[in-house]
């Protein structure tokens, strides 16, 4: 996703941050460094390597996935056991699909630059509405009442699911200040989990204050798949980076994957 568009941005960002850490850091003593979130891999499932994963959602024992890239963006309901699609629809080639969330039997799917949000019936995948979003679209989740949107910035936006009008916004910070490049989102147990784009980190964010309360390092996750793969294919240079978080409340498990990754991981936090 967006690696060309953001190349200049990232170069500028690098001067002030290394994974957003300043060269001469000014630590906010009122906002302590987030603790490491340790995890265990429960099971490894196959993942379709043609899926440029933008959004992931677990609902009623099924996995839903939104994928990106112009000409190949899809909305998919898939079998977790083999990674194959049970149901899917393709977006018009003029749209770049982004994050998804399911709420009140409706699937919401963001688009990247097109300022559109597509709303589908979750059972039939029939499109029932189109909403407008004024910014870039990156990630989506919901807290049961509001939809939560990321735009690649350090802000999270809480919006009305019927109109997509912004109700409020929360700035995400850690002990070094604002945390940018928030991407795919998942709401679980009152916290927001976010992929930080082009890093190996998943952040646990306080949904009220925006403070990062935990940090999961997934840099070695793909190596635990047991599959033969070229690590160089899954890097910032290729864009096939960590992205995709879904939560299964019945099992208290997370499902984690990446863009065009060959594996989907069921993990539990320790």
Band the pLDDT of 72: cuts 50, 70, 90.
very high
Q: Which of 94, 198, 199, 205 lies closest to 141, judged by CA?
A: 205
Total count of domains within the chain: 1
Domain that holds residue 106: 36-269
| pLDDT for res 28 | 59
Answer whether residue 18 is part of any domain.
no
Checking if the pLDDT of 196 tops 90, the result is: yes
Checking if the pLDDT of 205 tops 70, the result is: yes
Q: What percent of the chain has pLDDT over 90?
A: 82
| pLDDT for res 131 | 98
Query: What is the average pLDDT value for the chain, to the nearest integer?
Result: 90
Answer whether residue 142 is part of any domain.
yes
Answer whether residue 3 is part of any domain.
no
- Residue whose structure tokens are 């916004």: 169
Answer whether residue 224 is part of any domain.
yes
pLDDT tens string 24-35: 555 556 778 899
The CA-based angle 46-49-51, given to 5 degrees, is: 105
Contacts of 54 (CB under 8 A, 6+ apart): 1, 66, 67, 68, 73, 97, 98, 99, 100, 110, 139, 184, 243, 244, 259
| pLDDT for res 247 | 98
20: left (phi over 0), alpha (psi -120 to 50) or beta: left
pLDDT tens string 87-126: 999 999 999 999 999 999 999 999 999 999 999 999 999 9
| pLDDT for res 1 | 46
Contact 83, 38 (CB under 8 A): no
Checking if the pLDDT of 80 tops 70, the result is: yes
Q: What is the CATH number of the domain that holds 192?
A: 2.130.10.10
Checking if the pLDDT of 245 tops 60, the result is: yes
Band the pLDDT of 229: cuts 50, 70, 90.
confident
Q: Which secondary structure element, helix H or strand E, spans residue 253, and what is its range? A: strand 253-258
Checking if the pLDDT of 143 tops 50, the result is: yes
Answer whether residue 23 is part of any domain.
no
| pLDDT for res 25 | 52
Contact 256, 265 (CB under 8 A): yes
Answer whether residue 94 is part of any domain.
yes
Answer whether residue 167 is part of any domain.
yes
Strand partners, 55: 66
Answer whether residue 159 is part of any domain.
yes
Per DSSP, 180 falls in state -
Q: Which of 163, 139, 140, 141 lies closest to 152, judged by CA?
A: 139
pLDDT tens string 35-46: 999 999 999 999
DSSP E strand stretches across 16-175 = 39-46, 53-59, 62-67, 74-78, 85-90, 97-103, 106-111, 116-121, 127-132, 139-142, 147-150, 155-159, 166-171, 173-174
């Amino acid at each position: 996703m967006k690696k060309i568009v953001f190349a200049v941005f990232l170069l500028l960002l690098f001067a002030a941050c290394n994974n957003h850490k300043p060269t001469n850091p000014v630590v906010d003593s009122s906002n302590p460094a987030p603790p490491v979130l340790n995890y265990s891999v429960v099971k490894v499932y196959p993942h379709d390597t043609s899926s440029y994963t933008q959004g992931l959602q677990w609902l009623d024992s099924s996995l839903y996935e939104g994928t990106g890239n112009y000409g190949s963006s899809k909305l998919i309901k898939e079998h977790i056991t083999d990674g194959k699609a049970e149901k899917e629809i393709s977006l018009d080639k003029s749209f770049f699909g982004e994050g998804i969330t399911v709420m009140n039997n409706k699937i919401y799917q963001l688009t990247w630059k097109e300022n559109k949000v597509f709303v589908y019936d979750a059972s039939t995948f029939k499109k029932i509405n189109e909403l407008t979003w004024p910014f870039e679209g990156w990630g989506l989740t919901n807290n049961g009442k509001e939809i939560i949107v990321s735009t690649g910035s350090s802000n999270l936006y809480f919006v009305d699911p019927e109109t997509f009008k912004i109700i409020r916004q929360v700035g995400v910070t850690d002990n070094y200040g604002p945390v940018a490049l928030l991407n795919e989102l998942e709401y679980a147990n009152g916290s927001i989990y976010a992929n930080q784009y082009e890093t190996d980190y998943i952040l646990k964010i306080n949904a009220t204050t925006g403070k990062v309360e935990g940090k999961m390092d997934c840099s070695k996750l793909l190596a635990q798949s047991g599959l033969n793969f070229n690590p160089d294919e899954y890097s910032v240079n290729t864009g096939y980076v960590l992205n995709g978080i879904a939560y299964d409340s019945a099992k208290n498990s997370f499902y984690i994957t990446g863009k065009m990754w060959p594996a989907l991981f069921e993990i539990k936090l320790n």
